């Protein structure tokens, strides 16, 4: 058993490193936004399109990734998709124009789409259900470190290697990690000769493949609670990730008049909070059986209050509160993830694990993909003079949009019903199961 425990820990470490790069890429545009604007001669709208191209492909691939993880296995998905992300990083680093940059970043998003949901699938096979939220929290914590690396560390890297050299180096390391994933990771303990861990029925590959994608989608979207989760994550992560991934560093630079490195240092509080929140809330949720709905509502209320405070602040006078506010924003955004995915897992049987979580994850990033160019359009509309910088009033308009998003998400979760999937549904295989339409 010691060998078994060490092996699955080694897999978690490798998968966590992959997710580190997912979050590094996700939030990197905020640090290199000014460099891209000057190097590629683009405006805020084009910058938003480049940044959001990651999220469009990431979101679009989630249902496919979930289906492939359920039918072909997460090991294959993670390996192939991470190689694609490595190629995208190289293309982005060598991009001579905005169109090539969009293609490169889109490939990064498409490739990295294969990691998180596949990781959850691996966890569901190698660990008991009672540790699922904790493991999801570990992934979010490592993702927070990736987001942390996309602040001051990436800023220093860009200063020394340039933004192009930085992404080329990341691409080379990513290719090596994809190869390591294929060597070490396995879909289930049975592939290594160990007994199954999950107490839920694991249908054969033939049984699972016989369930069509249309049938899976009809089952998942026919659940009202799942639709409420999707609405909530669309709004929350559309607002949070567009601000964190694109506008947070420019916001600090423009509103408070600090340079990129100092803004990056202040911004580090967000991914730090994100990592701590994901791990802490995931662990506490499992350890003390917290009511996930009420925990979410409390976090949404806190974050909404913070957006409200930022709306009424004036430029220059309140720089000291940005770090603790960024930390709390990250803490709640990170803490929401293990709760959302645990709630999604509880709604469906294991056979729908990849499909349901893939859809929820994809919809959250579809929100980001839509919010990024939308916020760029709002900024450009507010400041008609061509410039790489924006006024306080322009940013305040974005904050109002973010506040409204959190408020609607709060209302959606108020309507959520704390009901788990019935035991008969969670134990039954698909074939011949009348409980699944």
Q: What is the pLDDT of residues 261-295, one digit of tens each?
A: 788 788 888 888 888 888 888 888 878 888 889 99
Mean pLDDT estimate for the chain:
85
pLDDT in tens, 43-77: 878 888 898 899 888 888 988 898 898 889 999 99
Looking at 14-28, 206-220, 314-328, which range is the least confident one? Answer: 206-220
Buried b (16+ CB within 10 A) or exposed e, 274-308: bbbbbbbbbbbbbeeeeebbebbbebbeebbebbe
Does pLDDT of 38 surpass 80?
yes
**How much is the average pLDDT of 395-416?**
94
Contact 356, 299 (CB under 8 A): no
Contact 5, 223 (CB under 8 A): no
Confidence of residue 163 (pLDDT cuts 50, 70, 90): very high
**How much is the average pLDDT of 113-135?**
87
Does pLDDT of 388 surpass 80?
no
For residue 382, the model assigns a pLDDT of: 72
User: What DSSP element (H or E) covers 195?
Assistant: none
Does pLDDT of 430 surpass 70?
no
Q: List Cβ neighbours of 355 (8 Å cut-off, separation of 6 or more).
A: 63, 66, 67, 70, 213, 216, 217, 220
Does pLDDT of 346 surpass 80?
yes
pLDDT in tens, 178-218: 999 999 999 999 988 888 886 554 454 444 455 677 888 88
**How much is the average pLDDT of 1-29?**
91
Task: Out of 217-231, 345-359, 379-393, give the one with best mean pLDDT.
Answer: 217-231
Contact 334, 281 (CB under 8 A): yes
Confidence of residue 434 (pLDDT cuts 50, 70, 90): very low
Give how far Cα 280 sits from Cα of 209, 305, 337, 338, 413, Å: 36, 22, 11, 10, 21
Burial class (CB in 10 A: 0-12, 13-18, 19+), 38: exposed
Contact 88, 100 (CB under 8 A): no
Residue with tokens 């959001």: 52
Does pLDDT of 166 surpass 80?
yes
Does pLDDT of 131 surpass 60?
yes
Q: List Cβ neighbours of 281 (8 Å cut-off, separation of 6 or more).
A: 137, 295, 334, 335, 336, 338, 339
Does pLDDT of 424 surpass 60?
no
**How much is the average pLDDT of 129-152?**
83
Rounded to an integer, what is the distance from CA 422 to the centroid of its chain? 29
For residue 421, the model assigns a pLDDT of: 53
Stronger pLDDT, 257 or 308, i.e. the higher one:
308
For residue 143, the model assigns a pLDDT of: 83
pLDDT in tens, 355-379: 888 889 889 888 988 998 888 888 8
Q: How many CB atoms lie within 10 A of CB 195?
A: 7
Where are the chain's structural domains? 10-188+212-418
The CATH label, of 3.90.1150.10, 1.20.1250.20, 3.40.640.10, 3.40.190.10, for the domain at 10-188+212-418 is 1.20.1250.20
Does pLDDT of 428 surpass 70?
no
Cα–Cα distance between 235 and 233 in angstroms, integer? 5
For residue 372, the model assigns a pLDDT of: 83
pLDDT in tens, 85-118: 999 999 999 999 999 999 999 999 999 999 998 9
For residue 238, the model assigns a pLDDT of: 93
């Amino acid at each position: 058993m010691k060998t078994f425990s060490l092996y699955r820990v080694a897999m978690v470490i490798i998968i966590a490193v992959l997710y580190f790069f997912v979050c590094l890429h996700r939030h990197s545009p905020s640090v290199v936004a000014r460099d891209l604007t000057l190097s590629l001669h683009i405006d805020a709208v084009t910058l938003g399109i480049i940044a959001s191209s990651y999220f469009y492909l990431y979101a679009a691939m989630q249902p496919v990734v979930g289906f492939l993880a359920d039918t072909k296995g997460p090991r294959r998905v993670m390996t192939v998709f991470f190689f694609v992300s490595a190629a995208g990083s190289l293309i982005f680093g060598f991009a001579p124009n905005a169109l090539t940059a969009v293609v490169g970043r889109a490939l990064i998003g498409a490739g990295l789409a294969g990691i998180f949901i596949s990781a959850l699938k691996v966890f569901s096979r190698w660990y008991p259900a009672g540790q699922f939220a904790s493991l999801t929290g570990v992934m979010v914590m490592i993702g927070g470190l990736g987001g942390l690396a996309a602040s001051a560390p990436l800023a220093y890297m860009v200063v020394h290697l340039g933004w192009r050299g930085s992404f080329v180096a990341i691409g080379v390391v990513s290719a090596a990690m994809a190869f390591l994933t294929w060597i070490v990771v396995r879909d289930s303990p049975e592939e290594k000769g160990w007994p199954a861990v999950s107490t839920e029925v694991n249908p054969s590959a033939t049984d699972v493949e016989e369930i069509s994608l249309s049938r899976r989608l009809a089952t998942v979207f026919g659940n009202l609670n799942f639709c409420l989760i999707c609405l909530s994550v669309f709004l929350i992560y559309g607002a949070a990730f567009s601000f964190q991934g694109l506008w947070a560093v420019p916001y600090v630079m423009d509103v408070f008049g600090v340079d990129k490195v100092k803004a990056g240092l202040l911004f580090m509080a967000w991914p730090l909070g994100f990592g701590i929140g994901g791990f802490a809330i995931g662990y506490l949720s499992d350890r003390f059986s917290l009511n996930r709905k009420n925990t979410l509502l409390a976090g949404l209320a806190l974050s909404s209050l913070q957006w409200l405070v930022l709306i009424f602040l004036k430029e220059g006078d309140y720089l000291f509160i940005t770090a603790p506010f960024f930390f709390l924003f990250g803490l709640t955004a990170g803490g929401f993830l293990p709760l959302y995915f645990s709630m999604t897992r509880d709604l469906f049987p294991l056979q729908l694990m990849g499909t349901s979580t893939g859809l929820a994850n994809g919809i959250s990033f579809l929100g980001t993909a839509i919010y990024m160019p939308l916020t760029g359009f709002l900024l450009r509309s507010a400041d008609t003079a061509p410039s790489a910088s924006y006024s306080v009033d322009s940013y305040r308009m974005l904050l109002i949009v973010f506040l409204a998003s959190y408020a609607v998400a709060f209302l959606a979760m108020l309507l959520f019903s704390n009901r788990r999937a019935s035991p008969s549904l969670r134990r039954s295989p698909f074939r011949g199961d009348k409980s699944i339409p």
